[in-house]
Structure 1
Amino acid sequence: MFIRSERLFLRPGWPEDWAELHVLIDDEAVVRNLARAPWPYSPTDARAFAAMPQAGRHPHFFITLPGVHGSRLIGCIGLAANQVDVELGYWIAQQHWGQGYATEAAQAVLSVARTLGHRRVIATPFVDNAASARVLAKAGFRHTGEVRQVRSPARVAPVAARVHAIDLVAPADCDGPEDGGFAPMRRAA
């Protein structure tokens, strides 16, 4: 699955992406805000992530920035099953922070989430990650009032994380009523 937004191209990872991925995510400032990424982040971790297969209703994407000389990897984003919820997770390489890429990628993935039939998506940024909370607010998420203790391999102890959620509107039903919308066209013989 591929997604094109205004400035970004979201695509599956390919095994040959591992080296570029490793250079970008092998940064404690990035990984300390992630609950699932190992720390330290090794080349083996990058190879495994780049080769990870897609999960039908829970896709993940490499966020790339198209340019004159091809597309550069700038981060990752995806949906994951989390107990009863679907959770959005993402990261952007530090040199690309503050440019709206995370918000743009989140909005694009939420559009796909809706198409995949998800009705609610959550995200759980750490309380000390105000930038991620702003990204989520711009993408339409609202803080639920719930706070969870979440572990990050790059932190010593569990950290409080605020649960944000967005309720997605169902896609328009273009099939019409049960009879396919043909009743008005039928004539009595």
Structure 2
Amino acid sequence: MFIRSERLFLRPGWPEDWAELHALIDDEAVVRNLARAPWPYGPDDARRFAALPQAGRHPHFFVTLPGVHGSRLIGCVGLTEADGDAEMGYWIAQRHWGQGYATEAARALLSLARTLGHRRVIAMPFADNAASARVLVKAGFRPTGEVRQLRSPARIAPTAALIHAVNLAAPVDCDGPEDGGFEPMRRAA
């Protein structure tokens, strides 16, 4: 499966991506905001992740930025199963923060999640990661008021995570996230 958004190309990981993946995610500022990534993030961790098979209704993608010299890897986005819901996780390499790539990748994945039949998607940013919470709200998620304690291998102690959710069963013909749905991807003119 592949997804094309306005600026990004989301594709499966390939085993030969491991070195580029490792160079981007071997960054404590990134990994401390991920509950499932090991720390330190070693070359063998990158090899394993790059070779992971797709999981049907819970795919994961390498987020790439197409350019004249090919597509550069800038992060990852994916879905996992979470107590009957789908859970979205993502990360963007630090040098690409603040450019809207995480929001764009999240919106693209939500569009696919709807197509795959998911009715609700959750995400769990750490409470001290305000930037990630903003990404989720821009993508159509809303805070649920629920808090969970999560452990990241790059953090010393369990940390509060603020549960966000988006209802994909809502009609698609909304003007944007303020209508209770998510903002659909733009159609080509």
TM-score by length of structure 1 reads 0.89
Residue number in structure 1 paired with 2:108: 108
Task: Trace 1:11-90 onto structure 2 (pairs within 5 A).
Answer: 11-90=11-90
Structure 1 residue 138 corresponds to structure 2 residue 138: yes
Task: State how far apart, in whole Å, the 2-side matches of 1:100 and 1:78 are.
Answer: 17
Task: State how far apart, in whole Å, the 2-side matches of 1:42 and 1:128 are.
Answer: 25
Name the count of aligned residue pairs: 172
**Structure 1 residue ranges without an equivalent (≥5):** 173-189
Identity %: 82
SS of corresponding position for 1:143 = strand
Paired residues of 1:114 and 1:171 also in contact (CA < 8 A): no
Task: State how far apart, in whole Å, the 1-side matches of 2:171 and 2:13 are.
Answer: 27
Larger Rg: 1 or 2? 1
SS of corresponding position for 2:40 = coil
Paired residues of 1:3 and 1:108 also in contact (CA < 8 A): yes
Task: State how far apart, in whole Å, the 2-side matches of 1:128 and 1:156 are.
Answer: 14
Task: State how far apart, in whole Å, the 2-side matches of 1:82 and 1:24 are.
Answer: 26
Task: State how far apart, in whole Å, the 1-side matches of 2:84 and 2:109 are.
Answer: 19
Task: State how far apart, in whole Å, the 2-side matches of 1:147 and 1:21 are.
Answer: 30
Task: State how far apart, in whole Å, the 2-side matches of 1:134 and 1:150 are.
Answer: 19
Paired residues of 1:117 and 1:170 also in contact (CA < 8 A): no
Task: State how far apart, in whole Å, the 2-side matches of 1:65 and 1:147 are.
Answer: 33
**Structure 2 residue ranges without an equivalent (≥5):** 173-189
Task: State how far apart, in whole Å, the 2-side matches of 1:157 and 1:85 are.
Answer: 26
1:169, CA displacement in angstroms? 3.1
Residue number in structure 2 paired with 1:175: none
